Amino acid sequence: MGAKKRVAGNPLVDITAELRAAVDALTFAEPVAFVYNPLAYAWELHRQYLERYGQGKKKVVFLGMNPGPWGMAQTGVPFGEVSMVRDWLRLDAQVRAPAHEHPKRPIEGLACERSEVSGARLWGWVKERFGQPENFFREHYVANYCPLVFMEESARNRTPDKLPAPEREALGAVCDRALRQTIEVLEPELVVGVGVYAEEQAARVLGGLPVQIGRILHPSPASPVANRGWAAQAEVQLAALGVL
């Protein structure tokens, strides 16, 4: 039954729903005080993204690490800077607040007025080069390795690589499975890690599959290098990978 369902519909929806449930079952100890799962509270937006832009085979998959507080945490879309998701990707759905919400990191969905620099840079580059979303998604796709946001009591972001080994391994087991299944469905020629962490996970998880692994600079404003013309540097790296 499950196999037939995946053939008939969009396999990425099934894979992601399984990932959503699996990460919800995990527990994390201090210093992590808040865990957001946008695959749960922003599921309608994420499902729209999967159904509209995740159809068919792709040549290149861009892979990020995990959601940022003003991007995917708000919209459920990888690197999902609000205005790009709403106005360019043309996705629209209600986003619920997480059950356990940090007062300094409210979830406001598409009404959020904060802009995530990383998402604005990545999707802004895509828009400038490809024009319309359909032109990009015809052969490309953007995903994240981990769907969860981790915050300390102070609201400081804590990335998955900073979790204790047992928590990191439990999280990795479910994220690894979802990533490998996603790549098996999309059958890209190339997976591009957006940053070192994503590249390392792709190389570790996708061994044995007929896919090349590459990397571009992460667009985070915390990176002094990325602040010196991220798009131009990323294009040089993509050209070296044969993407452009």
Structure confidence by residue, pLDDT tens digits, 80-102: 999 999 999 999 999 999 989 99
Rounded distance between C-alpha atoms, residue 22 and residue 106, angstroms:
24
Percentage of the residues of the chain whose pLDDT score is greater than 70: 97
> Helix, strand, or coil here: 216?
strand
CATH 3.40.470.10 fits 2-240, yes or no: yes
Rounded distance between C-alpha atoms, residue 22 and residue 18, angstroms:
6
Structure confidence by residue, pLDDT tens digits, 2-60: 333 344 579 999 999 999 999 999 999 999 999 999 999 999 999 999 999 999 999 99
Calculate mean pLDDT across residues 208-213.
97
Rounded distance between C-alpha atoms, residue 227 and residue 34, angstroms:
29
> Helix, strand, or coil here: 32?
strand
| Residue ranges in the chain assigned as alpha helix (H) | 2-8, 11-24, 38-41, 43-53, 72-75, 82-83, 117-130, 133-137, 165-186, 196-205, 230-240
- Mean confidence (pLDDT) of the chain: 95
Structure confidence by residue, pLDDT tens digits, 138-153: 999 999 999 999 999 9
Rounded distance between C-alpha atoms, residue 13 and residue 78, angstroms:
15
Domain boundaries, the chain: 2-240
Residue reference for tokens 């940022």: 68
Percentage of the residues of the chain whose pLDDT score is greater than 90: 95
Look at residue 244 in the predicted model and tell me its pLDDT. Answer: 82
Please tell me the pTM assigned to this model.
Answer: 0.95
Other CB atoms within 10 Å distance of the CB of residue 237? 15
